[in-house]
Chains A and B, each alone.
Chain A
Amino acid sequence: MILTLSSGEMEVVRRVLGREPREAEWKLVDALWSEHCSYKSSKVFLRSLPSTGPNVIMSVEDWQDAGAVDVGNGLALVLKVESHNHPSAIDPFNGAATGVGGILRDIISKGAKPIALLDMIRVGKLDEKGKWLLRNIIAGIGFYGNSVGVPVVGGELSFDETYNDNPLVDVACAGIVSKDSIVPSVVKEPGLRLVLAGFTGLDGLGGASFASRKLSGMDEIGAVQIADPFAGKIIIDVTLEVAKEVEAIKDLGGGGLAVAVTEMANGLGAVVNLEKVPLRFKYLSPEDIIISETQERMLFAVKPERVESVCSKFREYNYPCEDIGEITADPTIRFQYNGQVVAELPSDLLLSPPLNVWPAERASRRREPGREVPLGEALRAILTHPDLVSKEWAYSQFDYEVGTSTVVKPGQADSAVVELPNGKYLALKGDANQDLCAEDAYECGKAIVAEAYRNLATVGARGIALVDHLQFGDPRKPNVYQDFIDAVRGISEASKFFSIPVVGGKVSFHNEDKNGNPIKPTPLVVMAGLIEGKLARNRIDEGNLVLIGETRNELAGTLFSRIFGGGGEVAKTKLIEDLIASNLVIKGINEGKVIWNKDISKGGLAGALLPILTKGFSVKISSSHVVGTSSVLGKMFSENGGRFLVLTSDPQWFMYQAGRMGIQASAIGKATRDGGKLVLDDETFPMDSVVENYYTFLEGSL
């Protein structure tokens, strides 16, 4: 197994211990000090994210497995996002499936019932390898989510060659728990028994460390975990059954038992008797038991008198459950095998790796001047781009109806909406924008928060919490590290502006292609919101088209510039525009003025028109009414924020209200039922082949 500790870090360990560590101890330190588990290169900056608010119950600073906010009636919403990028690059089916399993266990660790999943997938070009990756990623997510009965209610699917070798597989999960029944991940008192449910096997050895370096190109399949959703379903059902009987719950994820025990002890100590660990494979060495990342295992801290009751509930399903040790007052983490010490290290050493703040330098971004692109060619390229086509091929493989609470389903709107047990409607959306982030990670950090906020507004919801996932290349590269710092700054600024607490997050570094080039920076946010008034049903019909917001000729960092290069200015996010425009849309929804609406994002105004065109309608646009720039390409393809496209029968209402609020709104055209055409001023663009491509591209390619 490859260790990822640096020689400097190894020196620190030797110095603190005053001796040469045992082999198992190196592995233990390697797992806990991995970037994946310790956030050693990111923690300093993550502190700048706003993590508090009147509705926050549990947040980042608690370093729990997931964040939680109050959603009324005594209920808490638990939210978490995570990626499984490296495992999915090597074994896309199991990598993606175990990503789902892992996030579900984070949610149940809080005693919360998982109610919805989102998946945000980014792959490269659709050659043989790309198709293999995508087919298996989608099948793997479906395999796990469907089997355990948690609906995948929404997500993203984007194609960019930056992800050819390193796909991004992000999954987010929302769960619900009664506020006073949230279970902590950490203990506060010694004497509790450590109870482990589930078999430990050979898979996923050193996975946390594997995730914390670039893909080596060598055979690393042993670091990938194997998914067993049936076991996952049992562990979900039984964990929720025993949640009220235990003092703390921790999922065994990256770093296996090593990390779970150390983090649960949280500064106290622990003694673990490794011979008690139920094994799937008899001859597993004590060292491997400590760092195995076999899925479908949970660790519980239990009062001694309750151990039998907890384990009996697992045994009812023939699921292994054993008392493997205890929490001690002595702050030492001790793993022993039949009384023989295998590893014995101070808790404090394991939990406090030296933090890294790497040199950072902003890359100079030179943009070649783009060629003159004829409008027809640009429209065709944008409107047939795989990022904008129907994703039914993917989401139809997910059981998005299980739970009988999916109100707005995949493909119906910019946000998914699920009904909570208290009758409220919860909106969920994940957003990232690798094009903009590659140009300016700070503007992009702001923009993705603003986009998520707008996306929630399209169904009538206001954001209440977000979680982020920060995906970059190797942090030791100054340009990569600067992008990371910039993105955090942008996300932090925007979430403060909208007063939306960041209640959790993850960092994934070392996402690179096989030549060592970093992926485009891809921070991602998942926002949750509540619908306070009416839910927008968003059914496309004939009506007037109103464009809310100002269109600026900012084509750098857009889908247009990804395809055609060039692009001029980078969009500068003016958060106040996003806030006011969202207010206007929500007001319009509540006053019954909105037939259908969509925020303007990928593909610009043209991209926003596509859903109308594909539902058998024609669209007629008068370009002079798109205000803010004289460039037709800018009008059609700029992706600057603060804008919505609304179908309404009362355009005057929007213009009047916008004027009162201090933003732009103009009636730019009409949608009519005589399908198949986009008419821009005097020019008519037939859309039949665009519409056909929309429905058949993914099905035909895969």
Chain B
Amino acid sequence: MRTAVIKFPGTTCELDVVKALKVVGAQAEVVKFNSLDPDRYEAVVIPGGFSFGDYLRAGAIAANSEAMKGVREMANEGKLVLGICNGFQILVESGLLRGALLPNINLRFVTRWVRIRVRRKDTPFTGESKDVLFMPIAHAEGRYFLDDEEIASRLAVFQYVDERGEPSPQANPNGSLMNIAGITNEAGNVLGLMPHPERASFSSISPDGSRDGLEILRVFGK
């Protein structure tokens, strides 16, 4: 799939994402924030980082950029849109996904390898995925919130779980509503998640050699 990986000023993960997408055979390239042509791509990834320094609120400035108009156009056409970490924050700030990502409950940045359960396999990203994935998070504002639990439950694709696969309070690294780690839109073609699949795509850097991030990224190779 021809995939644009958007680089805003302050984006830090664009090369990591391209490196991982190459593993699954995607035709991925970094596209600068001021030069996205939506018609050239079948899919778009908004990688992690600190777009525009996250100075106003994580993702808020990027959400109002010209590039996001292009992303919205792609989403409306049913193309695949994936937001990772800061990319997820940008997607909720731009309204492409429901809810908000608040500062972590302990008000600190946290890096940790976490387990997430795949609650929905009816999205293009998760159709062939394993049930539980092992991936790292690294964020200060990842506490998912939505004022309607029913909708949140329906849209939630990933949940932080413990070693037994339960969404326990201990497994919740940031205070997210219902341990939500990632959600989709109603159509299922837009996905945002806080964990970094691209960092779980190479066995040399994975604590147990697993490459669970590829389960989500694989679709871009089709």
Residues on A lying within 8 angstroms of B by beta carbon are: 139, 142, 146-149, 228-231, 233-234, 237, 316-317, 395-407, 409, 419
Please determine whether B205 and A405 come into contact, CB atoms closer than 8 angstroms. yes
Residues of A within 8 A of B138 (CB): 146, 399-402
Docked pose: A166 CA to B110 CA in angstroms = 28
Check B111 against A397 for contact (C-beta < 8 Å): yes
* Chain A residues within an 8 Å CB radius of B199: 401-402, 404
Can you list 9 A-B pairs, Cβ within 8 angstroms, ordered by A? Answer: A147-B53, A230-B50, A233-B10, A316-B34, A396-B109, A396-B111, A396-B112, A402-B16, A404-B202
A228: chain B residues within 8 A (beta carbon): 53
| Bound complex: CA A701 to CA B19 (Å) | 40
Q: Which residues of A contact B207 (CB under 8 A)?
A: 409
Scan B12-50; emit 1 where CB is below 8 A from any A CB, else 0: 110010011000000000000010000000000000111
**Would you call A397 and B9 a contact (CB within 8 A)?**
no
In the bound complex, residues from chain A placing their C-beta under 8 Å from that of B55 are 230
A143 and chain B: residue at smallest CB distance: B109
A234 neighbours in B (Cβ, 8 Å): 9-10
- Within B201-218, the residues touching A (CB, 8 Å) are 201-202, 204-205, 207
CB A268 to nearest CB in B, in angstroms, measures 35
Contact between B205 and A401 (Cβ–Cβ < 8 Å)?
A: yes
Whether the Cβ atoms of A403 and B16 lie closer than 8 Å is yes
Q: Known contacts A146-B50, A404-B16: does B202 contact A233 (CB below 8 Å)?
A: no
Give B residues with C-beta under 8 Å from A: 9-10, 12-13, 16, 19-20, 34, 48-50, 52-55, 108-112, 136, 138, 140, 196, 198-199, 201-202, 204-205, 207
Are B9 and A404 in contact (CB-based, < 8 A)? no
Determine if B111 and A398 form an interchain contact, defined as CB atoms under 8 angstroms apart: yes
Bound CA span A79–B199, Å = 25
Which of B10, B34, B108, B196 is within 8 Å of A147, CB to CB? B10
Q: Which of B48, B50, B112 contacts A229 (CB 8 A)?
A: B50
Contact residue among B34, B52, B140, B205 (Cβ-Cβ distance under 8 Å from A404):
B205
- Taking a contact as CB atoms closer than 8 A, the residue among B53, B109, B204 that contacts A397 in the complex is B109
Q: How far is the CA of A404 from the CA of B201 in the complex (A)?
A: 9
Please state if B198 and A404 are interface contacts (CB–CB under 8 Å): yes
For the complex, what is the distance from the CA of A403 to the CA of B204, rounded to whole Å?
Answer: 13
**A401, B197: Cα distance in complex, Å:** 11
Q: Is the CB of A149 within 8 A of B12?
A: yes
Is A407 a contact of B110 with CB atoms below 8 Å?
A: no
Q: A230-B53, A404-B20 are in contact. Are A419 and B205 (CB under 8 A)?
A: yes
Residues A233 and B205 in contact, CB atoms below 8 Å apart: no
Query: Which residues of the other chain, B, contact A316 by a CB distance below 8 angstroms?
Result: 34
Q: How far is the CB of B158 from chain A (nearest CB, A)?
A: 18
In the docked arrangement, what's the CA distance between A230 and B62, Å?
Answer: 13
Contact call A233/B204, Cβ cutoff below 8 A: no
Tell whether, in the assembled complex, residue B111 and residue A233 are in contact, meaning their CB atoms are under 8 Å apart: no
A409-B208 Cα distance, complex, nearest whole Å: 13
A149 CA to B53 CA in the complex, in Å? 11
CB–CB A397/B205 < 8 A:
no
Given contacts A404-B16, A404-B19, A407-B204, 6 further A-B contacts (CB under 8 A): A148-B12, A396-B108, A400-B111, A401-B205, A402-B48, A407-B205
Cβ of B84 to closest chain A Cβ, rounded Å? 12
Chain B contacts of A405 at CB under 8 A? Answer: 205
Question: Quick one: which of B111, B112, B199, B204 has the most chain A CB within 10 A?
Answer: B111
Interface contact A230-B52, CB-CB below 8 Å:
yes
Query: Which residues on the B side are within 8 Å of A407 (C-beta)?
Result: 204-205
A149 — which chain B residues lie within 8 A by C-beta?
A: 12-13, 49
Which chain A residue lies CB-closest to B135? Answer: A401
Q: Are B50 and A233 in contact (CB under 8 A)?
A: yes
State the CA gap A405–B53 with chains docked (Å): 23
Known contacts A401-B199, A404-B19; A147/B50 CB under 8 A:
yes
How many whole Å from B115's CB to the nearest CB in chain A? 16
Q: Which residues of A contact B201 (CB under 8 A)?
A: 404
State A307–B174 Cα separation when bound (angstroms): 47
* C-alpha spacing A52/B198, complex, angstroms: 40
Q: Which residues of B contact A237 (CB under 8 A)?
A: 9
Once A149-B49, A401-B136 are accepted as A-B contacts, the answer to whether A230 and B10 lie under 8 Å apart by CB is yes
Say how far A445's CB is from chain B's closest CB, in angstroms: 34
Inter-chain CA distance A429–B111, complex, in Å, is 21
Contact partner of A399 (CB less than 8 A), chosen from B10, B19, B52, B111, is B111
A233 to B9, CA, bound (A): 8
A396 close to B205 (CB less than 8 A)? no
Task: List A contacts of B108 (CB < 8 A).
Answer: 139, 396-397
Q: Are A402 and B13 in contact (CB under 8 A)?
A: yes
B15 to chain A, nearest CB (A): 8
CB-CB nearest 6 A-B residue pairs: A149-B12, A230-B53, A399-B138, A404-B16, A147-B50, A401-B199
B143, chain A: closest CB distance, angstroms:
16
Q: Which of A402, A405, A406 has the most C-beta atoms of chain B within 10 angstroms of its own C-beta?
A: A402
A419 to B10, CA, bound (A): 23
Is A317 a contact of B9 with CB atoms below 8 Å?
yes
Q: Tell me if A399 and B53 are in contact (CB < 8 A).
A: no
Cα–Cα, bound, A231→B9 (Å): 9
The listed residue with most B CB atoms (<10 A of its CB), out of A149, A229, A397, is A149
**Cα distance, A407 to B109, chains bound together (Å):** 21
A237 and B201 alpha carbons, distance in the complex (Å): 25
Chain B hits for A419, CB < 8 A: 204-205
Q: Which of chain B's residues have a CB closer than 8 A to the CB of A404?
A: 16, 19-20, 198-199, 201-202, 205
User: Across the two chains, which residue of chain B brings its CB closest to A234?
Assistant: B9
Q: How far is the CA of A231 from the CA of B109 in the complex (A)?
A: 20
A148 to B12: give the CA distance in the assembly, Å.
6
Q: Looking at the assembled complex, report how far the CB atom of A485 sits from the nearest CB atom of chain B, in whole angstroms.
A: 41
Interchain nearest-CB distance for B104 vs A (Å): 11
Cα–Cα distance between A400 and B50 once the two chains are bound (Å): 15
B125 nearest CB across to chain A (Å): 20
Closest to A423 in B: B204
Contact across chains for B50 and A401 when beta carbons are under 8 A apart: no
- Cα distance A316–B49 when bound, in Å? 19
Task: Report chain B residues within 8 Å CB of A147.
Answer: 10, 12, 50, 53-54
Least Cβ–Cβ distance between A98 and chain B, in angstroms: 15
Give the CA-CA distance A181 to B171 in the complex, in Å. Answer: 47
The distance from the CB of B14 to the nearest CB of chain A, in whole angstroms, is 9
Interface centre among B50, B198, B201, B207 (most CB of A within 10 A): B50
* B16 contacts A396, C-beta separation under 8 Å: no
Nearest B residue (CB) for A233:
B10
- Bound state CA distance, A231 and B10, in angstroms? 8
B50, A396: Cβ atoms closer than 8 Å? no
Q: Which of B12, B54, B196 has its CB near the most chain A CB atoms (within 10 A)?
A: B12
| Bound: A405/B201 CA distance, A | 11
Whole-angstrom CA separation of A147 from B54 in the bound complex: 9
Distance of A22 from chain B, by nearest CB (Å): 39
Q: Which residue of A lies closest to B198 (CB)?
A: A404
Flag if B12 contacts A402 (CB, 8 Å).
yes
**Chain A hits for B110, CB < 8 A:** 396-397
- Residue of chain B at shortest CB distance from A398: B111
Closest to A699 in B: B106
Shortest distance in angstroms between B39's beta carbon and chain A's nearest beta carbon?
A: 23
* Chain A positions within 8 Å of B19 at CB level: 404
Complexed CA–CA distance, A80 and B140 (Å): 28
Give the nearest-CB partner of B12 in chain A: A149
- Residue of B20, B108, B196, B198 with highest tally of chain A CB at under 10 A: B108
Expressed in whole angstroms, the minimum distance between the Cβ of A117 and any Cβ of chain B is: 13
Question: CB-CB < 8 A to A233: which residues of B?
Answer: 9-10, 12, 50, 53
**In the complex, A396→B52 CA distance in Å?**
23
B112 in contact with A406 (CB, 8 Å) = no
Residues of B within 8 Å of A142, CB to CB, are 109
Q: In whole angstroms, how far apart are the Cα atoms of A397 and B49 in the complex? A: 15
**Is A401 a contact of B53 with CB atoms below 8 Å?**
no
**In the complex, chain B residues whose CB is within 8 Å of the CB of A148:** 12
A148 to B10, CA, bound (A): 7
Q: Taking the nearest CB of chain A, how far is it from the CB of B49, in angstroms?
A: 6
Bound complex: CA A522 to CA B182 (Å): 46
